[in-house]
Structure formats: C-alpha cells, structure tokens
C-alpha cells in the first residue's frame, strides 16, 4: 500500500485533545475549618495579650499570661495527670511573629488541603498532627513548648502524600507542587535546628500527618457523567477513621512509654 503524497487534499494528523477535568467537592469550596482555626487561634492569642501578668507562674516557670499557664506543654505537669497539655499547646503562641508565621502558613496552604480532604478529615488531620508533635516533644525534650507548628508540619506532610499519590493525575503541576513542598520542608528543617525551636514537635507533626495521609489521603480517579469529566475520590470514609485510630494509638502508646519510663 502506498502513502498519499502531501498535497492540498492531505489532512494533517489530528492533535490529541486535552480533557478538561473538574474537581467536584460535595462539601463546597469554602474552607470553613481553616477559618475557624484561624479565628480560634487568633482569639486565644488576644486572650494571652489581655491577661499578661509578669507575676504569673506555674511549676516554677514564669508563664506570663493565663492561657499559657493553663495550656503550655510542661512535662512534669503532664506526668502529674494534666493530659490536656498534649493538645492545648497548638492554640498558644509566644509572640506576634510566631503567631503570624503559623497562621500565614495555615491561611495559604490550609484551603487547598481542606478542599481535597474535606472539612471533617482536615480538622482531624490538624488536631492529630498537633497531638503527635506535642507527644514527640514530650518524649525527647524537657523544655516547655507551644505553637501550631506541629499541625502545620503535619498538614504539609499530608499534602505531599496526597500530591504524590495522585501524581499521574496532576502531572507537571503536581511535580511543581512537590518541589515547592520539599523546598518549604527543607527551609523549615533548617529552622528546626536553631536554638529555641522545638524540632521534635515539628518532626512529630510531620510523622503524624504523613502517617494519617498514608491511609486517608484522597485517591482520585477520572470519571465521566452527563456533565463531563470529574475527579472521583476512591478513598472511603472507613480509611479516615482507621488512620485516626492508628495515629492516636501510636502516639498515645508513646506517651504511655514515657509515663512508665
């Protein structure tokens, strides 16, 4: 069989058509959990400012304001049964700069993560990451600590797991996101090594968030209905609860080891 010679009647090869894929999120596009966390954390900081008193102290440590006295991570008080200090530090901050850095990260990255994970799953991720960070800090450092950084690191790790899991869907855009996440993680790793920064808390948050996402991160599949193409999440709600239990049991177990040592 001979090929037709190029000419006026010859048709150029058809270009492959790109498919426009719409991400449909049944929970809506508004990051309500991010807004609630921002409002709550900023309100707590205002309460810290409003209750400042240099005479305030707890367990021999000057805490400076009422919320910090009630909620900062102090190992000895946790050992004495004040379990709430394994989660309350993520609502407290030591300065306006400290608050601003963490809330900016939550404001910039949080809506994207909440959009894909969903409202409730995102809230669970944020709280479990914070808890994981405080637990690791409780295990490996005696210094008091506070701040939402552990939750931020967990959120960052969870987003990295999500993008990697869906790398075939996101393609070049996903690769760019992964590079950005790795760059941010590297910068924050260097910051974690500086004196006065609770690197164990950061590491614990990243481990907790990454482990949670390893089980619960959305797994997208391209599907089509009468309205066109969309990304359908193949991860069932059962995996979210399983991931929550795994992280909670693991870090609660680490806490028990610390208590018994």
As annotated, the active-site residues are 149, 202
Residue 10 token pair: 């010859």
The three-class DSSP label of residue 231 is: strand
Q: Which residues, 6+ apart, have CB-to-CB distance to 153 below 8 Å?
A: 129, 133, 188, 202, 203, 205, 206, 209
What is the C-alpha to C-alpha distance for residues 12 and 182, in angstroms, rounded to an integer?
43
Q: How many CB atoms lie within 10 A of CB 204?
A: 28
CA 253, CA 256: separation in Å to the nearest integer?
5
Structure tokens at 195: 């004196």
Q: Are 131 and 44 in contact (CB under 8 A)?
A: no
CB 208 within 8 A of CB 154: yes
Residue 166, both tokens: 């869906």
- Cross-strand bridge partners of residue 73: 145
Alpha carbons 6 and 12: distance in angstroms, whole number: 9
Rounded distance, CA 144 to CA 62, Å?
Answer: 11
Task: Name every residue whose Cβ is closer than 8 Å to that of residue 250 and which is 6 or more positions away in sequence.
Answer: 211
Kindly report the backbone phi and psi dihedral angles of residue 57, in degrees, each rounded to the nearest multiple of 5, phi listed first.
-150, 155
């Amino acid at each position: 069989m001979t090929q037709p010679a190029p000419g006026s009647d010859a048709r150029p090869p058809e270009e492959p058509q790109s498919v426009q894929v719409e991400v449909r999120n049944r929970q809506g596009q508004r990051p309500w959990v991010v807004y609630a966390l921002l409002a709550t954390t900023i309100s707590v900081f205002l309460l810290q400012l409003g209750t400042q008193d240099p005479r305030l102290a707890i367990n021999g440590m000057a805490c400076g304001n009422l919320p910090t006295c009630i909620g900062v991570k102090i190992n000895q008080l946790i050992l004495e049964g004040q379990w709430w200090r394994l989660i309350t530090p993520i609502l407290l901050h030591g300065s306006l700069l400290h608050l601003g850095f963490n809330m900016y990260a939550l404001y910039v990255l949080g809506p994207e993560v909440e959009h894909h994970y969903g409202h409730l799953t995102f809230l669970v991720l944020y709280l479990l990451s914070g808890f994981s960070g405080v637990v690791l800090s409780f295990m490996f450092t005696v210094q008091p600590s506070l701040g939402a950084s552990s939750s931020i690191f967990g959120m960052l790790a969870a987003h990295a797991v999500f993008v990697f899991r869906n790398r075939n869907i996101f393609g070049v855009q996903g690769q760019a996101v992964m590079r950005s996440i790795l760059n941010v993680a590297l910068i924050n790793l260097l910051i974690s090594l500086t004196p006065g920064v609770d690197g164990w808390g950061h590491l614990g948050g990243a481990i907790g968030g990454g482990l949670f996402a390893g089980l619960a991160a959305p797994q997208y599949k391209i599907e089509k209905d009468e309205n066109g193409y969309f990304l359908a999440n193949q991860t069932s709600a059962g995996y979210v609860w399983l991931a929550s239990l795994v992280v909670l049991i693991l870090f609660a177990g680490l806490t028990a080891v610390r208590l018994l040592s």
